[in-house]
């Protein structure tokens, strides 16, 4: 696609169809990476007629087998899941031949558990008054403060990722695009290269008893950290809604981690949360598309900060990306902003397809 002035623009294809029907028309090895936010199969989301959240498609190996077929050898899959059902999804992935390589835990400072019932009240409704008194304070669920994201690779057992990439495949994680800055304690900032400086990472030697055979005291060990920051981990911390640039709100998961690590990291020193990726709070990716169409926001839309981080990790600039179960198009937007050369979005709901069109048009 060529834009004004001859500038090259990324390709975007939108398919209004059931994912299984769409996949049958896509050739083998089309995509470098796939991002899938399939229904969780819990029926906890109120839907307008279609009840797609009751679907158990995420637990069907046939779906993931087809997704693997259209992915290049070595290509990466990022699949959102729910703590209650992610084990079924992961088993289906492995049964389809995907090589599960990690699980990212997205930890939130805010959460709402749909269908969390008060057991005392429920028992009273059934007439079990005597039993209800002993169930004061009992409910049915915990607060869902984390969601898993499974990372899997399209590689056969004992196959070489490097060889797959060398022979025209895909793969790998863009670690440098998601590294942790040493000074980035509160919020993620755009990644920039900073000159590496020597840092004293020596540990204080412990006490050595007379029975110890040997000890090592390394008081002046200097190391040069990576210029782009620390290695990212598989734990993502999302700030509270009430956090500001200069301080965290009470109850924020980042503040809690720093508070518990304060015995080692005194006030004003490096906090414990520096070892983890921290995401700015955003209520949903964006609702302007829905507002323009007089539609409600997508009920399971993920925060834009989260999607941009994930896209930076799994989308190689110039590569091809499949946004399966595209919903409102938030994943497609994040992939395009990460530099994808071509994105294909698939969704079966007409209202969401219209929302995707508006979102991409707003990107210009």
pLDDT digits (tens, 9 = 90+) for 245-284: 778 888 888 888 877 765 555 555 667 787 888 888 776 5
What confidence tier does 80 reach under pLDDT thresholds 50, 70, 90?
very high
CB contact at 8 A, 306 and 238: yes
- Coil, helix or strand at residue 321: strand
Residue carrying structure tokens 């070489």: 160
Residue carrying structure tokens 């990372």: 151
pLDDT at 234 over 60: yes
Share of the chain above pLDDT 70, in %: 73
pLDDT at 197 over 80: no
* Separation between Cα atoms, residue 151 and residue 239, nearest integer Å: 23
Domain annotation for the chain: domains and CATH numbers:
10-110+145-194+228-363 (3.40.50.150)
For residue 207, how many other CB atoms are within 10 A of its CB? 6
Q: Which of 42, 60, 1, 7 is nearest to 299 (CA)?
A: 42
Output the average pLDDT for the chain. Answer: 81
- Coil, helix or strand at residue 258: helix
Residue 310: phi, psi to the nearest 5?
Answer: -65, -40
Residue 34: phi, psi to the nearest 5?
Answer: -130, 135
Q: What is the mean pLDDT of residues 233-238?
A: 90
Residue 219's pLDDT is what? 52
Q: Using one digit for the tens of pLDDT, what is the confidence trace for 155-196?
A: 988 899 999 999 988 999 999 999 986 554 444 333 333 444
């Amino acid at each position: 696609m060529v834009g004004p002035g001859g500038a090259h623009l990324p390709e975007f294809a939108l398919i209004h169809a059931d994912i299984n029907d769409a996949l049958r028309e896509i050739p083998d090895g089309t995509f470098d990476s796939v991002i899938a936010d399939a229904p969780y199969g819990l029926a906890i989301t109120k839907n307008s007629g279609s009840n797609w959240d009751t679907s158990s498609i995420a637990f069907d190996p046939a779906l993931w087998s087809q997704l693997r077929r259209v992915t290049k050898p070595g290509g990466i899959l990022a699949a959102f899941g729910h703590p209650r059902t992610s084990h079924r999804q992961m088993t289906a992935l492995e049964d389809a031949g995907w090589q599960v390589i990690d699980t990212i835990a997205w930890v939130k400072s805010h959460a709402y558990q749909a269908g969390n019932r008060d057991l005392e009240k429920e028992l009273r409704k059934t007439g079990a008054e005597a039993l209800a008194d002993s169930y004061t304070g009992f409910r049915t669920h915990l607060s869902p403060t984390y969601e898993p994201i499974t990372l899997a690779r399209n590689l056969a057992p004992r196959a070489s990722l490097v060889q797959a990439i060398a022979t025209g495949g895909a793969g790998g994680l863009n670690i440098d695009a998601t590294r942790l800055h040493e000074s980035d304690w509160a919020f993620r900032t755009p990644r920039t290269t900073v000159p590496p400086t020597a840092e004293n990472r020596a540990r204080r030697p412990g006490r050595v008893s007379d029975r110890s055979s040997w000890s090592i005291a390394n008081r002046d060990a200097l190391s040069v950290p990576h210029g782009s920051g620390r290695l990212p981990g598989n734990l993502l911390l999302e700030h509270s809604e009430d956090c500001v640039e200069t301080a965290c709100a009470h109850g924020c998961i980042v503040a809690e981690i720093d508070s518990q690590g304060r015995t080692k990291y005194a006030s004003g020193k490096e906090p414990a949360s520096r070892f983890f990726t921290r995401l700015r709070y955003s209520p949903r990716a964006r609702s302007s598309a829905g507002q323009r169409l007089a539609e409600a926001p997508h009920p399971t839309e993920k925060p834009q900060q989260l999607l941009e981080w994930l896209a930076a990790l799994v989308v190689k600039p110039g590569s091809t990306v499949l946004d399966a179960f595209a919903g409102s198009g938030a994943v497609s937007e994040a992939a395009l902003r990460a530099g994808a050369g071509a994105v294909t979005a698939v969704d079966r709901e007409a209202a969401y397809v219209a929302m995707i069109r508006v979102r991409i048009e707003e990107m210009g």
